[in-house]
Structure 1
Amino acid sequence: MYSHILIPVALDHETLIAQKMEVARHLLSDDGKITLLTVLENIPGFVSEFVDLDIDNHLTQKVEAKLRQATGDDDQIGCMVVTGKPGVQIALFAEDNGVDLIVVGSHHPSAQDYFLGSTASRVVRRAGCSVFVVRD
């Protein structure tokens, strides 16, 4: 059993959240905890020149609220939002927060995935803990 399970959530792949949470609950120790994590990518500098960026745009709070909604308001599940590159930040978050299992979702691979790589494959390569891949 695992004591701290991390579930990365890509907001464009919401359909996998319930399936990943079911796997996590099955593998969680009695006194363990689950954390949902979304990584927001930084806006490139060349784009920010043309967009009026308001630091207080509350995007992080909106994403956290969406994650909280996905948990069914379960207070035992933490929700976090960080910025950066998902494949890197997920592994760093796991290392910095004592995560012993990451449950990632992945679609069935296509030729494009073999050349470009997916977030799931980057997490598998970088994580210092076990990674469980859930297929859709």
Structure 2
Amino acid sequence: MFKTILLTVDVNDFKGAERPAEVAMQMAQADGSALHVMNVVPDYGMAIVGSFFGPGHSKKILTEARTALETWGKDRFADLPEVHFLVDQGTIYDRVLQEAEIIGADAIVVGAHKSQLQDYLIGPNAARIARHATQSVFVIR
């Protein structure tokens, strides 16, 4: 049913990523799909804020995020025939939607944001991804 699945993960909340990862893995196993696991590091918002951190800080953050993502996912997805890890920086929903197009994803799996109003809200990034994606989007609580 799905050839390529994009799973979004927050490396700062691996506990919250457990259920979406489990669902994405089951989907990939069932269909023999390629699984792309992605983390997006938010950008600084304003250039002046980024300049405060100095040269090389963004590269260091991206390297640390990639290491954390690969360490977390290496054993978890070991049974899948094709797994790719990606870390990018920018506006989360925008980068996820762009990456889904680049890899030709058939489905995107995202976790729902846990808020006090969790019966009503799924979180701003998950909502924007679901609203604007051309692919099927699975929002996992």
Give me the TM-score of the superposition, normalised by structure 1: 0.82
Judging by fraction of residues, say which structure has more helix: 2
Q: Distance in 2 between matches of 1:21 and 1:42?
A: 24
Rounded Cα–Cα distance in structure 2 between residues aligned with 1:87 and 1:34? 18
Match of 2:48 in 1: 46
Question: 2:110 is matched with which residue: 79, 104, 113?
Answer: 104
Given residue 83 of structure 2, which amino acid in structure 1 is its aligned partner? I
Alignment CA distance shift 1:27-1:71 (3 Å): same
Structural RMSD (CA): 2.5
Gaps of 5+ in 2: none
User: CA–CA distance in 2 between the matches of 1:45 and 1:56?
Assistant: 12
The match for 1:13 is: 13
Counterpart in the other structure of 2:132: 126
Greater than 6 Å deviation, 4+ residue runs: none
Quote the sequence identity (%). 27
Q: Is the 8 A contact 1:17 1:70 kept in 2?
A: no
Name the aligned partner's letter for residue 10 of structure 2. Answer: A
**Pick aligned residue for 1:90 from 70, 91, 96:** 96
Q: Contact between 2:93 and 2:126, CA under 8 Å: does it hold in 1?
A: yes
Cα 1:54–1:17 shift into 2, 3 Å: same
Shift of 1:80: 0.3
Q: Which amino acid aligns with 1:26?
A: Q
Matches within 5 A, 1:8-87: 8-28=8-28, 29-43=30-44, 44-54=46-56, 57-73=59-75, 74=78, 76-87=82-93
Task: Give ranges in structure 1 of 5+ residues lacking alignment.
Answer: none
